[in-house]
Amino acid sequence: MPKISKTSIEDVKARTSLVDVFRQFTPSLKRKGKGWWACCPFHNEKTPSLHIVEDKGYYHCFGCGAHGGAIDLVQHMRGGNFVEAVEYLSEFSGVTLQYEASTTPPEVKDKYQKGYKALEKAKKLFISQLNGKSLEYCDGRGLTAETIQEFGMGFAKDSWDATLNELVSDTVDLDALLDTGIIGRAESGKHYDRFRGRLMFPIENERGQTVGFGGRILEKSENGAKYLNSPETDFFHKSKMLYNLGRAREHVRTQGYMLVVEGYMDAIALWQAGIKTAVAPMGTALTEDQTQLLWRYTDTPYVCLDGDEAGQRAAHRSALMVLPHLKPGKTLKFVTMPEGHDPDSYVAEQGAHAFKSLIKASSTLDDVIWKAMSADADFSAPDTRARIEGEIGITCASITDETVKKHYTSALKSKLWDAVRGGALQGNKLRAPSNLKGAPAQIRDVDIALCSLLFQEPILFEKFSDEIASLEFKNQAFNQLVGYGLQFLGKGTLDKPSFDTYLTSIGAYDQLQGLLRSDIISQMDSGARIAYWRRLVNEKRAKASELMPKGSIADMVSEGTDMSAWEEMKGRLLAQKQKDAE
């Protein structure tokens, strides 16, 4: 792509009215004094908090912190890259862009100019031939004239060389027809129409240029595939493109999601129903390049797949494909269609509202992976649990981002121990240690607080192993918990899912959970738990020396503690501190 000159970029910035650009995206624009205010399009709000400084060419939202100029605004609202935003604003403001001298050879530039011309001519020819059976087919699929026109649908005659003859006579270069895949050449050297007797769907790039075609056969044929796409050319790269992306990207911001569907008709039917953010990978499984393209416009695309076995396998393949490329905040979700339906048929029968309900019930990436891992698994069998734990390690090893890898490993291990614990609750033969069964129901002292922290934050075993080993508790169940943790620590890193799985496997989890339940501690983050641990250890030592401070938080942590009690504690401690200061 040629580089836009710096002078042209500055001209676009200088001649673009930021207020006029905002009017394209938000109707709430109002003038107050010398400035303009609007409800921020980047987050939901009822009272305008976004200030537009027209003379300096920038906006700032005092609600969410969004800040930038016209180019930033267009990139956020329409998607796309910097060059596309500048080109959009150049048309908006009437600036003719100048490009820096290109190093592209003249013959290559000529090839592309002729190729795009041939593709556009072919599109217009196919549109002009849409009649008879092709129109009847569109009507039978419920498409309106407006939708047909919006997507430039047409028809290729069922003839060996009708398209070839029409276009060559219309001053289209023969080599350009070959370069773009509109026609083919047989081994004999004879040229032929690639698309014959097919309903035609123009395929456009993000800039709205026609780069290829898809064709659906209308008459049943033993030799003809139901759908046929243009071959790979210098203009059309199927694995790197998404059908309807140029239209859909402008609606992602307002509709709040982006859908990946299987075919042309799914995307078109959803558009007509008012769901204007669907794109299609044109008959292939979702690729890495297509996923990266989706992530330019949304952090979480929704992949719509059939609910049958083939659809679930496709979901699993897509999940495994994307794992190495995950980054914090970038993922996929999966929408499962009811049996016997695709998006086209479902929205026609049930409507857009019902389809949006399917989106809300979507599955996460880790859900899809876990479903495939755990299908028909017997969690009461140790070898099954070992197999799945091994699969978790192998699967997550493909994730290159260490932070994402850690959290996916933790999430999948958590699902494993949930499944194991579920089996234990359903009567699998797992026995709790006898001395744990007779433990008292409530213990209102520092011990229960300390053990609750160990139960919720087992990483404490790593940070304070020596200190923990020296602790002694009146309740033997708590001493046993410490023993479990220190013993398990010798096998490697002690994360909560692994620890919980171990406690469940010996039947100790549910009893300990009942003893050590603390609403306050479960709501703390990791840093707060570690800080609280240090304080409680000091309090335990002080209590042992009969120097326990009055009003200690630890005295009040119990099974029934809630957030209101937490606020009461803080008030008491503050009052005690003020009294001591006096």
CATH of the domain at 85: 3.90.580.10
* Residue 31 β-bridge partners: 36
**170 plus 287 within the same structural domain:** no
Place of tokens 């495994």: 320
**142 plus 207 within the same structural domain:** yes
**80 plus 217 within the same structural domain:** no
Q: How many CA atoms lie within 13 A of 520 on its CB side?
A: 25
Q: Is residue 443 part of a domain?
A: yes
**186 plus 120 within the same structural domain:** yes
**311 plus 380 within the same structural domain:** no
**23 plus 52 within the same structural domain:** yes
Query: Cα separation of 84 and 99, whole Å?
Result: 14
Q: Is residue 52 part of a domain?
A: yes
Contact 280, 262 (CB under 8 A): yes
What is the reported pTM?
Answer: 0.65
State which residues form the domain around 400: 376-425
The number of distinct structural domains making up the chain is 5
Query: Cα separation of 158 and 539, whole Å?
Result: 88
Q: Is residue 391 part of a domain?
A: yes
**161 plus 54 within the same structural domain:** no
**443 plus 565 within the same structural domain:** yes
Q: 518 to each of 19, 450, 455, 481, how far by Cα in Å?
A: 53, 11, 10, 16
Alpha carbon 211 to chain centroid, angstroms: 28
**264 plus 364 within the same structural domain:** yes
The candidate with the shortest Cα–Cα distance to 467, out of 541, 385, 549, 400, is 541
Of 93, 128, 144, the one marking the end of a domain is 93
Q: Is residue 334 part of a domain?
A: yes
pLDDT in 10s for each residue of the chain, 582 residues: 568 888 888 888 888 888 888 888 877 788 887 778 888 887 777 788 888 888 788 888 888 888 888 888 888 777 778 888 888 888 888 888 887 766 667 788 889 899 999 999 999 999 999 988 999 999 999 999 999 999 999 999 999 999 999 998 877 889 999 999 999 999 888 999 999 999 999 999 887 899 999 999 988 765 678 899 999 999 999 999 999 998 998 888 778 899 999 889 999 999 999 999 999 998 778 999 999 989 988 889 999 987 778 888 888 999 999 999 999 889 999 999 888 888 999 999 999 999 999 999 999 999 999 999 998 888 878 888 889 989 999 999 999 999 899 889 888 887 887 777 555 434 433 333 344 443 333 334 677 778 888 877 777 877 777 677 777 777 777 777 777 777 666 555 567 777 777 777 777 777 677 666 666 676 666 667 777 777 777 777 776 665 444 444 334 343 334 444 444 544 555 566 566 665
**16 plus 146 within the same structural domain:** no
Q: Is residue 99 part of a domain?
A: no
**497 plus 575 within the same structural domain:** yes
Q: Is residue 98 part of a domain?
A: no
**339 plus 404 within the same structural domain:** no
What DSSP string runs through 367-380? HHHHHHHHTT--TT
